[in-house]
Amino acid sequence: MEIIAGVDEVGRGPLAGPVLAAAVILPDDHTIEGLRDSKKLSKLKREKLFPIIQEQALGIGIGLVDVKTIDEINIREATLKAMQIALGNLPIKPDKALIDGHPLKNQVIPNEGIVGGDDLIDSIKAASIIAKVTRDKMMADYGRIFPEYGFEKNNGYGTEFHMKALDEHRATPIHRRSFKPVMHKMPTLTWLSEQKRVGWMGEKLAALYLKGKGLEILEMNRNCPPHGEIDIIARNHGEIVFIEVKTAFKTNPDLLDEKVDKDKLKKISHAIYQYQQETEQIDDIRIDCISVILQKKKPIIKHFEGIRLE
C-alpha cells in the first residue's frame, strides 16, 4: 500500500503569530465523516473533528515557523519551510506527499501540488483542520498574554479591533514587523517611557519568556484589592506559579532586586491567598520574580525561582 501524506498550512495572512503547517497520513479505510477545508467548517466542527483525526491518522507532523524567521526569509518561504518541517516530523516516511497549492521544491519526498486540494483530498482536508485548530490554540494562548489585541478571536488577522490595538499599544514581539501595517507601529524605548508602558512591556516579555520555558500562562495582571496586583499567574505541571515582574529602563538594573522586599512579598502572599479563595485553587504554589532590562537590542531577563516568604 502506498503511504500518502496530505499537507496544508495556515497563517499566511495574519499580522501576528507563526505560520504553521500539518502533514497527515490517513488510512484508506478511515471512517472520518465531515472532512472539509477548515475554512469552510465552524470552529465547533473543527474542534470535534480534531481528536477524531488524531485517533485515526497513521501519522501527523507539525511544522512551525516563528515571526522572526518570517521576517528574515519572507512569508512565502516561511510557508514552504513549515510544510517541509511538517513532513519531516511525520512518525513514518510517506511514499508521496500531496500539497495544497503548489509542489515543494528541494523536497526529498516526491510530492504533487493540488490547487484547491484542501477541499478535494481527504488527507489534505485533515491536515487543514489539524493546522487550523493547532494554530488557533496557540493564538488563544498568546491572547492571555496580550489581551489588548484579541488574538483569541482574530488569530492575528488584521481585524478592526486588532488595528485599533496596534494604534494604541503598538506592535508586540509576536507581530510580523516585515508586514506593512506593523512596521510603522513598532514601539521604541522612548515611546514606551513616554506612554508609561515600560512595566507593561516588561510583563509581556516575562510572560513570553515563561511560555518559552514550557509554562502555561493562565492570567495577566490579576487584581486582588486591597492587596494589589499579581503580574503573571502560570501553571508548571501541577504547580501554580505567581510571578512578580520588575522592569528597568534608564534606571540602575541592580536596584530591581531590592524592590521585592519583605513588605512586597507580604502583599503578594495576601493577594495569592485571595486568589486561592476566589478560584478554589488547591494546587501547590510557588512565587517567582523576573527582572527585565529593556535595551535597544535583546532585553536581558533574569528569573529567580521559588522566593521564600520568610
Domain-wise residue ranges, the chain: 4-143, 188-304
Asked if 187 and 296 touch (Cβ cutoff 8 Å), the reply is no
Q: At what angle do helices 122-145 and 198-212 cross, to 10 degrees?
A: 140
Task: Report the top-level CATH class of 188-304.
Answer: alpha beta
Is the pLDDT confidence value at 309 over 60?
A: no
The answer to whether the 4-143 and 188-304 domains have the same CATH topology is no
pTM of the model: 0.91
Please tell me whether residue 155 adopts helix, strand or coil conformation. Answer: coil
Task: Report the top-level CATH class of 4-143.
Answer: alpha beta
User: What pLDDT does residue 264 have?
Assistant: 74
Asked if 38 and 10 touch (Cβ cutoff 8 Å), the reply is yes
Asked if 37 and 128 touch (Cβ cutoff 8 Å), the reply is yes
Mean pLDDT over 244-256 rounds to: 72
**By CB neighbour count within 10 A (0-12 exposed, 13-18 middle, 19+ buried), where does 280 fall?**
exposed
Question: pLDDT digit string (tens) for 42-92?
Answer: 999 999 999 999 999 999 999 999 999 999 999 999 999 999 999 999 999
